[in-house]
Amino acid sequence: MDNRPIGIMDSGLGGLSVMRIMRRQMPHESLIFVGDQGHFPYGTKSGDQIRRYALNIGRFLVQQQVKMMVVACNTATAEALPLLQKELPIPVIGVVVPGATAAVSAPRHRRVGVIATNATTANGIYPRTIHQLDPAVKVFPLATQPLVTLVEKRQTGTKRAQRLVDQLLAPLAQDNLDALIMGCTHFPFLKAEFRHFFGPNVLLVDPAVETVKQVQCCVRQDKRLASADQRGRVRLYSTGSAAHLTRGARAWLHDTSLFGHHLVLPD
């Protein structure tokens, strides 16, 4: 039994798409979420910058006595996961291996699209990871960075959102995809727009679902589950606007009691 919280990080609101599944599947666990809005977006930053930001957040979470860290950001996973795993004295889980695993486990997965940030796409981590799992898959990577800002501004469900999705995903329209990995944690909030674009025949893969399974597995295996008679508490921190994080979390986690705090970290 271990009632210490689990730490979660992202560059912004996208990590809430992972957190909402964790809250549903692991209601007894307390969670600390850090949105690095002070450095948003990560997808246009260098690998060195992303590693520095992610490590500072990891160290903060360790100070907060978390029992493990979930990197709820594909870009930070691509650039910083090995460093975090080496430097931090706790288990650290990313979202890319779970996302790739979920895609290749789908019944139809010969042709897989991956939409992600500029940095994740340039890194090549998804094609690499997918081919390690199944070399026969044909992967179609596509950088769709402007969608990240759209979600961070909470403009999902608008005509503008659908227009931007239609425009940016146009290169994938003729690729006959079996599945599309939403390879940025902001993107599951645009699932309705993706579904409208592709119609019913393309599987939309949210890496968060498999990630949360791995988190559950990890805490269970280490005998670190929180006690079943407690309801987990949630603490939210933003290195940018705490009010922005509060609004996003209340809307997307359907909980009006949530409250974001401002966090100052070394630069």
Residue entry with tokens 């670190």:
224
| Active-site entry in 184, 212, 226, 258 | 184
For the CB of residue 185, give the shortest distance to ligand DGL in the complex, in Å. 4
Closest CA to 210 of 134, 130, 113, 102: 102
Active site residue 73: yes
Does the annotation list 229 as a binding residue?
no
Active site residue 184: yes
For the CB of residue 261, give the shortest distance to ligand DGL in the complex, in Å. 20
Nearer to ligand DGL, 55 or 226 (CB): 55
Strands (E), 137-206: 138-143, 179-182, 203-205
| Active-site entry in 22, 32, 55, 73 | 73
For the CB of residue 167, give the shortest distance to ligand DGL in the complex, in Å. 18
Classify 161 as helix, strand or coil.
Answer: helix
Interface residues toward ligand DGL, by CB under 6 A: 10-12, 14, 40-43, 73-75, 117, 120, 148, 184-186
Classify 110 as helix, strand or coil.
Answer: coil
For the CB of residue 248, give the shortest distance to ligand DGL in the complex, in Å. 12
Of the chain, the end-to-end C-alpha distance in Å amounts to: 35
Distance between CA atoms of residues 182 and 51, nearest Å? 22
Q: Which strand (E) or helix (H) includes residue 234?
A: strand 234-238
Does the annotation list 158 as a binding residue?
no
One-letter identity of residue 118: N
Does the annotation list 183 as a binding residue?
no
Does the annotation list 237 as a binding residue?
no
Say if CB 13 and CB 154 are below 8 A apart: yes
Nearer to ligand DGL, 146 or 157 (CB): 146
Positions at the binding site for substrate: 10-11, 42-43, 74-75, 185-186
Which positions are catalytic?
73, 184
